Amino acid sequence: MRRVAVFGATGSIGASTLDVIARHPDRFRATALTANDKVDELVALCVRHRPDIAVVADASRYAALRDALAGAGLHTEARAGSEALVELAGSDACDTVVAAIVGAAGLPSTLAAARAGKRLLLANKEAIVVAGALLVEAVAANGAELLPIDSEHNAIFQCLPGPAIHGAARPGVRRIVLTASGGPFRGRTRAQLAEVSPDEACAHPKWRMGRKISVDSATLMNKGLEVIEAHWLFGAAADAIDVVVHPQSIVHSLVEYADGSMLAQLGNPDMRTALAYGLAWPDRIDAGVAPLDLAALARLDFEAPDRAAFPCLDLAYRALREGGGAATVLNAANEVAVSAFLQGRLGFLGIATVLAAALDALHGARADSLDALLALDAEARRVATTLLRSP
C-alpha cells in the first residue's frame, strides 16, 4: 500500500491524482493533502479521502482549517505554513509525494521529498527549472525515484530504457522531441496577438488547466520550460531537444534513437494516464481514461512552431544555454509577467518583452544553493516588477 501525499490537492493535477487513487483503494491511500489557502475545498477533499494530515500553506488559515475539519467530524490533523509543507514532504507520513504546487513555491517541499528518498511524482515543472542541478543531485544521493507527470516528460520516460530518472543521458538516444498543442492562438500572426485577452489565452483547446499554465501554453513558455525540464530529467543538451506542434495532442512526445528508430507514446489528453503510471510504476493500472480510436482520429498533424509569433520558446532555449541562474530568472520573471497580464496590466506580447529584459538585466547571475536560488528568484521578481512600471 503506497501512502501518497498530494501537494496542491485542490488543483487539476490533485483532482486527477485523487481520482486514480480512489480507483485503487487496495494499492494507494491519500495520507496527506495540501492546499494554498482554499480551506473549504481542502476540507471537502478530506471528507471524501480521509487523510491523516491536511496542510494549508497560508499560516493565517490554520484556525479555519482546524475548526472546519473538526466541524466535519474528521480526525485529520490540521497543519499550516510553508515549514509544515517541507516537514510533511520529508516525514514518514508518506512514501510517495505528488508535487503539484504551482510555481516556485513548490520548490522547498519538492527538494525535501527528494532528500528523504521518496517516490517523487513531479508535476511542478518550475521546481526543476529553477533548481535542476540541486534536485537531480538530491534524487541520486538519497535513492529517491523521480517520475515526471507532465504528459510530455512522462511520455519520454515511457519511451526510454532503464530505471527511474536520475538525470543521466541514455545511450543510443539521438534526440528528444516534445510535442506542443500550439495553444489557443496557433496560426495567428504576431500582429494578431497584440490585443488578445486573458480569457482568450486561458481557453485551451485540449487541456483543462489553471490560468497561469494556460497562459504559458498560449505563449509557448510552457513548452520552453519543458525544454529546460527535459535537459535536467534526461541529461539532454539543448541541441538534442526539439519542439513540434501537434494540435491533436494525441502523441505526447517522442524519442529518436541512433539507429533511426523513433518511439512515441500516444493517448487521449488526460493527465490520469501519466499519474497512474507514476503511482504504479513499473506496473500499469486502469486510470479511467478512454482508449484511443485510431480510425476515428483519422489523421495526426505536425508542424514547426512559429518562433516569431511566440518568442518565449527561444527565450527558454537562451536561458538553458546560458546556464547558471538564467532559468531561475526566466521562471520568476515569467510568473510576474503572466500575473500582470491576467490582471490586465500587461499586454500579451509584453510578456516576452519583460522576460528578455530580465534576462539581460541579470545576465551571468549564478546560484548554487537553495538559499541563493530563492534570493535570485526574489531579485528577478523585483527586476520584472520594475520593468512593468517602465514606459
Among 344, 133, 338, 358, residue whose Cα is nearest residue 218: 338
Largest CA distance in the chain: 62
Cis peptide before 171 (omega within 30 of 0): no
Question: What CA–CA distance (Å, rounded) separates 34 from 9?
Answer: 6
Contact 225, 138 (CB under 8 A): no
Closest CA to 255 of 180, 182, 154, 174: 174
What are the angstrom distances between the C-alpha of 119 and each of 10, 13, 90, 341? 21, 17, 11, 36
Confirm whether residue 10 is marked as ligand binding. yes
Find out whether 118 is annotated in a ligand binding site.
no
Query: Is 126 labelled as part of a ligand binding site?
Result: yes
Alpha-carbon span 337 to 301, nearest angstrom: 32
Are 342 and 336 in contact, with CB atoms under 8 Å apart?
Answer: no
**For residue 25, how many other CB atoms are within 10 A of its CB?**
9
Residue 379 counted as an annotated binding residue: no
DSSP string for 90-147 = TSTT-SEEEE---SGGGHHHHHHHHHTT-EEEE--HHHHHHHHHHHHHHHHHHT-EEE
226 is in an annotated binding site: yes
Query: Does the annotation flag 152 for ligand binding?
Result: yes
Binding residue per annotation — 83? Answer: no
| Annotated binding-site residue? 142 | no
CB-CB contact of 146 with 250 (8 Å)? no
Q: Is 210 annotated as a binding residue?
A: yes
For strand 173-180 and strand 241-245, is the pairing parallel, antiparallel, or unpaired?
parallel
Q: Does 11 appear as a known binding residue? A: yes
The residue behind cell 490586465 is 344
Tell whether 204 is in a known binding site: yes
Tell me if 368 is assigned to a ligand binding site.
Answer: no
Dist CA 98 CA 95 (whole Å): 10
* Residue at 67: amino acid letter: D
Q: Is 12 annotated as a binding residue?
A: yes
For residue 152, the tally of other CB atoms under 10 A from its CB is 27
Annotated binding site: 10-13, 124-126, 150-152, 181, 204, 210, 217, 222-223, 226
Annotated binding site for NADPH: 10-13, 124, 126, 210
Annotated binding site for 1-deoxy-D-xylulose 5-phosphate: 125, 151-152, 181, 204, 217, 222-223, 226
Annotated binding site for Mn(2+): 150, 152, 226
